[in-house]
Structure 1
Amino acid sequence: MNTLPRLSSLALLLIVLCPSLTAAQTTATLAGTVVAEGGISLPGALVTVIGATPELRRETTTDKQGSFLFSDLPPARYSVTALATGFTVTRAIEVTLVAGQTQRVVIDMRVTGVTETVTVSADRSRASTAPSMLSLAPADVSTVAGAAENVFKVLHTLPGITAVNDFDSRLSVRGGGPDQNLTVMDGVEIHNPYRLFGLTSAFNPETVEAFELTAGAFPARYGDRLSSILTIENRAGNPARRAMGSATLALTDANIIAEGRLPGTSQGSWLVSGRRTYYDVVAERFVNADLPAFSDLQAKAVWRVSGGGQLSVFGLKSRESTDAEFGDVGREFAVIRTKARNDLVAVSWQRVFGARVASRTVASWYLNRDDIDFDGRFETGARRTNAPVSNNSESLSNILFTRQLSVRDTAIRQDTTIRLGRSHLLDAGVEAHVLATQWGWRIDGERNPGVANGSSIQGGAGLPALLDSSRDSWRFGAWLSDVWMVTPWLRVEPGMRLDKTSVTGGASLSPRASLLADLTARTRLRVAGGAFTQSPGYEKLLQSDYFVNLTSADDARVGTEWARHAVVGVEHTVAPGVVARVEGYYKSFRDLVIGRLETPEEIEARTSAYDFPASLAGEVPREPQILSAPVNGGRGNAAGVEVYLARQSVSPADRALTGWISYTRSRAEKTMYGVTMPADYDRPHAFSLVANLRLNAAIDVATTVRVQSGFPYSPPVGVRVAAVQDLADADGDGNRSELIPQVSRRLLVWTFDQGGASNLNSARLPRFSRVDMRFTFRPGWKNRRWQFYLDVINLLNANNASGFDAQLSYDPAADRPQVTYERRNSLPLLPSLGIRYKF
């Protein structure tokens, strides 16, 4: 078979915005560079520009610096692709050239591989992309209905990927937990990729070159996670001018970007961006409170040096704060103060050595700190008598909670690719991390009666009242893989990864392999699998729903978590721009770290504090609680089938319907404490539709539709008599620390009975459905640099339930109240207006 058409069919499209207009000339110039992963220049690559007609086609090859030049091109819209042995295009470029313009572009290529990858890249892709690689432009991330310019919200609409709730940005990938996902930006691990309590992301889509989520069976170059890898590559500044930029203004936030060519250089560039929310500025005019505020500043500078080298420096400074008081201090009130910071400095050196070796070294320093101070008293509905009219003071809960956590990560990463002949491409590397982590809190008052798992980070009963835990550790990883082109239509990629960490003191080997076969010119088969490990660490717990104390006496027994992945998929190009994919997967987990159950001695010590009369002895909670002491006591599995159909633009026509539709049928379960139950994010059915219709050059209409099964949850099994500390020595026995039955107006006060471990995830939330709409208008002023949009989240105002708040209500037919439920964590109908301008 001819390999050139097959490789060229992997081309992706990059939309380049903000062309400048001049009228002095009748032709245009296109210049650029072809680079491998990490920005390493590729000499000898074949570059092709294709216009709407056959006469608008040109070809050239890159020079020793990886650069190319097309001069005297007629003004038109072109697609630009590249071809190089052993590499595949991650993104082609769609660019509109105007007379007198010199446009500069960068074409990215990756080592030919066969891993499961979902991509949100800096450009559109053609239908002939690599298997399972789904491409969207960051401009699309900014325009997907309901996504609020948050890449994680876009990822929530892709097959196998689930949002943990309606508000949060965290991901569950193919049944795994959010702590099992790794985020890497420019080669640096980002331990907290969310901002404003998960409402938005740390990544500015206007400055991103590519987002790429590897949803399963990822290659050996990444490790220390069980489920997925999200990689982000920030783009360099545009060196076409000394200075240029854009600005976006919405009702709640602003985003400004400036970029250009470094002074004294021809190829070096700089880029600076800043974002800020102003909920606090608007709200302080109406309430005496500073609502959550977020701001960040990013900067990147790139220097290209002779001999094929490139030096880049990236910096990030992010701050969040809240200072708010609500309610009446005399009765119900809440005072919340938060401060968070995220700082990052990274230096990257990339170099090619001839035509066979490429190297990238990244050194970084990362810091995440997060402080919370909460004091409140409010009615929870978790305690009441069975009187027709309840005394509200029965259900008032006092909570005082302070928390401080920090993660500091000093790391270095070295990647090297070596081409051995025409059939083999080796990928080898090492990484090392030195971590300083701290987690501390103080919890006074009642715990959350609505959570059944005592290790829940939402105030579980098994969490210690006082915690001051610090853990310094190091982690090392090394990998080697070989992309072997067995025949022009068959490629395999065996690999091996070694991980070692001071937390467990042991090392682990993770073999992995994948295969890609071109069955026909339009159909591909893909098989991949392997072993994956994750070490315990506070940096993972930042995204977890549960907490385990890694400096407790039990920590010495905690080991590495393991998973095995198997993926089989078929992808078929239905028509130009239309791709269909069916993929099946299976994952198994073992040695998952969970909080252990109380021992019989610990149960006896806890229940001995209860001084209940014999008639109420059955009301003492004797089921073993889940503690924060860690053990490798969990296992599980997940399996599913994903169907995906996407249509992307393949021509420069203004009118086009683009988007995707997906359906996932899956099952995920876990076994712990001797009970097999649905996994926390098991979602048997999930349907998504994302569409954007360009009516003309000025108007776009977009919609997002999601219909999904509800998650499992743990309902109370009933009610029991509430206990209260006998501060007044009501029974006259002289013991003021014991717990006695709570009484109000001579009636017993009741609270929830959460049952034992057998009740975990025993019920399911109702179906989730949401429709979002977005309308975009680009007037003809200034070459359509202005953009106005209206984004409406939850257009139909569906009353979804990301969770249930259990409440106690009067039951006239019983001697105790009944449990009722209220839906929570659901976004209402929420419109938003915004303006974007590029200068």
Structure 2
Amino acid sequence: MRYMKILFLPAALVLFFCTTVRSQDVPYITGTVVDTEGDPLIGANILVTDLGRGAVTDVDGNFRINKLEDAEYDLRVSMIGYATKVVRDVLASSTPDPLKIVLEEKAVEMEEIEVVGDALRRPQEDTRVSVQKMVPWEAKFLPGAAEDVMRSLQALPGVLSPNDFSSQLIIRGSGPDQNLIVMDHIEVFNPYRLYGVVSMFNPETVSDISLLTGGFPAKYGDRLSAVLDISNRDGRSKKDFYMNLNTSLTNANLVLEGDSPLNLPGSWLVSMRRTYYDLIVGPFARSAGLVDGNVSFPNFGDVQTRLNVSPWEGHKFFVTGVTSRDGVDVTTSSSAEDPDSVSVYNTTFNHVLGTGWTYAPSDDMLNTVVFSYYNNNGISEFDGRFLDPVLDEREWEGTADSIKALARFFDVSVDGDFVLEKYSLSNEFVYHLGTHDVEAGFGWTYIDAGISFDIRIGDDLKEIIEANPRSRALTEPTIQLQQYHKFHGYLQDRIELIPNRFYLQPGLRYDYYTGIQKGYLSPRINASYAVDPSTTVRAAFGVYYQSPGYEKLFDNRQFLDFSEPYLTALRAENALHYILGVERWLDNRWLAKVDLYYKDFDDLVTRDIRPGFKWTSAHQTGTDLRDPANWADPFLVASDTITDKPINGSFGEAYGIELMLEKRNTERSDKFSGWISYALAWAQRYEEGVVIPFNFDQRHTINIVGNYKINSWLEAGARWRLGT
């Protein structure tokens, strides 16, 4: 039945695309809001006073108000810190002249300024379902989130974390490796710092945070569960130079930005972060006797840059770059040669470089081309010398010397390194045509991955391990290399079937993975229905595929052998999403949301289990375990072996309901904001006829988040979470 649905939907989508829908020239108003120096204003509110609705300017100061009559309207333009301006008798038409509205700065006063076009209030024509939006200041000030974007998202319904110290996201019964993470049109892997405690995203430079927990459209692919789409802001261009420094007991965050030095419209931004646990906490812990030996606590530093210029009207070029380093160097005693000592060294680097060009030949058309490079590499060293904890000379008197010699010391050393390189080229095209919003795109990705590790074991322990055929591979060096290409193309069209009420977005995506030498077609469909101006019902169905690859293993924290012939024998993992959501604004401040979802997973990649035998023995009950005479002769018993060979050996499901009530600040006089959410969820996997609960299956989850603005410079917040 599952595959009948998959086969039926492409046919249905073909009918949608082949059906001729009459394009209407719907009047609209468009323009740009700038300050007195000509710099675009982000988040300015434009209200059509006659209709009580409007729009919010984007990152370039542009706005567009659709679905108007062929008539004249008055616009009220406002933004905190600027004098409100009324523009009268603006003509809406199918080919309007773009407006340029200039706002003048003024001292911020305490009167109420109503934010009618709330940037977080999604338009009803947005067909995406299960979208969670978060503004950067929420990520920065959310209690318990360590000023981190991804840890802040863990306070939303349907989102969990592996543990209290991880910024990884467990979303609706899926692992972190099944989430697509995009920054400025660039897919990034392993976006974690401090070994997973925080993420790479700087809340001081982020402009938009969108989390799609399911049912995402065809422009996103190669992941089964969810999408996190992050946009970084451009630098401020009013002056040549700005500086902002934030410090705390454990880290510092410096942001430099200013006008473009090229005498062209544009700006630049550089941010630098550094933790100093190792510089402050380390010496304190040693002096207080909390640790022994030469301990360097984990630390990281990163530099992010963004440059944009607009040399010609309608053209914008940008460059985004990130480089970071994580490090740790720990020895648990004064010398690595001491018994029961452990020495750990690790250095990890992340580098991202992307350059893009956006071209808008008209208000109805936008094309974006992005080329990017990504590199993640690291070196790890581990040395340990362990004294058998059960060995006590007083208790072991009379024990055979051969056993005492084996049990006394075990020496283990591990050297490992990895490198993951990615080159990507993509093109995205958006075209507004009457009642249609068409999006299309294609792209290419090349991945070069390598993993190696060498476990060196002392002679005594090595003899024991190599005597067991199931463990013999541990003593052999491992090197895995993988190079493959990924190609994709997509087409989606949002159609206004009933004016101002019903919108449908069919989409189709094709992916080809050279690693497994297979291609897949993914039909998807989203719908939005406006019950009334305050209530929207949305629904989605989609087919999703995820290719196997080493870049996903970093999130999954496991090793699989993707060498030949194992890789080409695999199929891409796949999932079906069924989602229904209702969103209602109770008033201008309170939002209520309900989401129901069901995800059906198939062809999940797991480790192959092979039947075999092992040698074992038994001792006489009530006798001394240390006396070899009390043990029977070894004999064979059946024993399965879990290998690192990957197979499509599992399937599963995740389903549940999520409720959320949110209070937003929409006026300057508002003091309180926050939300309360409840999620009821089930997630499980099936292997070899056995039901296996998902590792992070959590039945009930309650989140309560509150912030109260005490005055202009002081705000208090609290967060409470219950999971069972």
TM category (shorter chain) comes to: 0.7 to 0.9
Listed as ranges, the matches of 1:5-154 within 5 Å are: 32=41, 42=62, 48-50=76-78, 56=84, 58-59=86-87, 67-71=100-104, 76=109, 78=113, 90=119, 113-118=126-131, 134-154=132-152
Counterpart residue type for residue 240 of structure 1: K
Contact 1:692 1:701 in 2 (8 A): yes
Q: CA deviation at 1:400?
A: 2.4
Contact residue 40 and residue 60 of structure 2 kept, 8 A = no
Aligned partner (choices 352, 375, 396) of residue 367 of structure 1: 375
Moved more, 572-581 or 560-569: 572-581
> Could you tell me which of 708, 711, 722 is aligned with 1:696?
711
Contact 1:49 1:80 (8 Å CA) reproduced:
no
Partner of 1:325: 331
Q: 1:64-463, aligned counterparts within 5 Å?
A: 67-71=100-104, 76=109, 78=113, 90=119, 113-118=126-131, 134-265=132-263, 267-283=265-281, 285-286=283-284, 287=286, 288-327=294-333, 329-378=337-386, 398-421=411-434, 423-445=435-457
**More displaced stretch, 629-638 vs 673-682:** 673-682
Change (3 A) 1:353 1:154: same
- Residue by residue, what CA displacement relative to the aligned partner does 1:285-311 show, whole Å, maximum 9, x if unpaired? 354332222111111111013231100
Amino acid at match of 1:678: P
CA shift in 2, pair 1:584/1:393, >3 Å: farther
Whole-angstrom distance in 2 between the partners of 1:690 and 1:371: 40
| Whole-Å separation in 1 of the counterparts to 2:183 and 2:688 | 37
1:706 corresponding residue in structure 2: 721
Q: Which amino acid counterpart does residue 699 of structure 1 have in structure 2?
A: L
Contact 2:492 2:508 in 1 (8 A): yes
- Closer, same or farther: CA 193–282 of 1 in aligned 2, 3 Å: same
In structure 2, relative to structure 1, the CA distance for the partners of 1:72 and 1:401 (3 Å cut) is closer
The letter of the residue matching 2:77 is V
How much has 1:136 moved relative to structure 2? 2.9
Residue 271 of structure 1 deviates from its aligned partner by 0.4
Q: Which amino acid aligns with 2:661?
A: L
Cα distance change on mapping 1:236 and 1:659 into 2, 3 Å: same
Q: Return the match for 1:680 from 654, 674, 695.
A: 695
CA contact (8 A) 1:573 1:579 kept: yes
User: Could you say if the C-alpha distance between residues 515 and 110 of structure 1 is closer, same or farther in structure 2, counting changes exceeding 3 Å?
Assistant: closer
**What's the CA shift for 1:264?**
4.8
2:479 to 463, 468, 480: 468
Identity %: 28
Range that drifts further, 527-536 or 245-254: 245-254
Mapped partners of 1:149, 1:431: distance in 2: 34
Closer, same or farther in 2 for the Cα pair 1:39/1:30, shift >3 Å?
closer
SS of 1:542 mapped into structure 2: helix
Contact 1:50 1:56 (C-alpha < 8 Å) held by counterparts? yes
Q: Which residue identity does 1:375 align to in structure 2?
A: D
Q: Distance in 1 between the 2:99 and 2:370 partners?
A: 22
CA root-mean-square deviation: 3.7
**Offset, 1:696:** 2.3
Residue 673 of structure 2 corresponds to 658
> For the residues of structure 2 that align with 1:482 and 1:464, how far apart are their CA atoms?
56
Task: Say whether residues 1:633 and 2:649 are aligned partners.
Answer: yes
Residues 218, 492 of structure 2: 8 Å contact kept: yes
- Retained in 1: the 8 A contact 2:234–2:267? yes
Structure-2 separation of matches of 1:384 and 1:353: 81
Measure how far apart 1:692 and its partner are. 0.6
1:78 deviates by 4.8
The residue identity in structure 1 corresponding to 2:141 is T
Judged with a 3 Å threshold, the aligned counterparts in structure 2 of structure 1 residues 257 and 75 are, in CA distance, closer, same or farther, namely closer
Give the Å deviation of 1:45: 5.5
Maintained 8 Å contact 2:124/2:528? no
Return closer, same or farther for 1:541/1:90 CA change in 2, 3 Å cut-off: farther
Structure 1 distance, partners of 2:389, 2:654, is: 36
- Describe the superposition over 1:160-183 as per-residue Cα deviations: whole angstroms up to 9, x where unpaired: 111011111111110001110111
Using the alignment, how far apart are the partners of 1:569 and 1:152 within structure 2? 23
Task: Tell me the equivalent position of 1:814.
Answer: none
1:564 has 2:565 as partner = no
Aligned residues: 628
Alpha-carbon distance in structure 2 between the residues aligned to 1:379 and 1:111: 66
Unmatched tracts of structure 2, length 5 or more: 1-27, 44-54, 67-74, 287-293, 459-469, 621-630
Pairwise CA distance, 1:515: 0.8
**What is the distance in 2 between the residues matched to 1:367 and 1:325?**
29
Q: Which amino acid aligns with 1:182?
A: L
- Give the Å deviation of 1:139: 1.7
SS in structure 2 of the partner of residue 372 of structure 1: strand
Distance 2:129 2:152 in 1: 18
Contact 2:654/2:684, CA 8 A, preserved across alignment: yes
C-alpha displacement of 1:382: 10
Quick check: 2:420–2:448 contact (8 Å CA) kept in 1? yes
Deviation at 1:438, TM superposition (A): 0.6
TM-score by length of 1: 0.69
Gap runs ≥5 in structure 1: 1-6, 9-13, 20-26, 83-88, 93-108, 119-133, 447-458, 710-839
Structure 1 residue 32: deviation in Å? 3.0
Structure 1 CA distance, aligned partners of 2:215 and 2:633? 53
CA contact (8 A) 1:90 1:110 kept: no
Change (3 A) 1:416 1:692: same
CA distance in 1, matches of 2:490, 2:56: 19
Work out which of the residue numbers 665, 674, 682 in structure 2 matches 1:667.
682
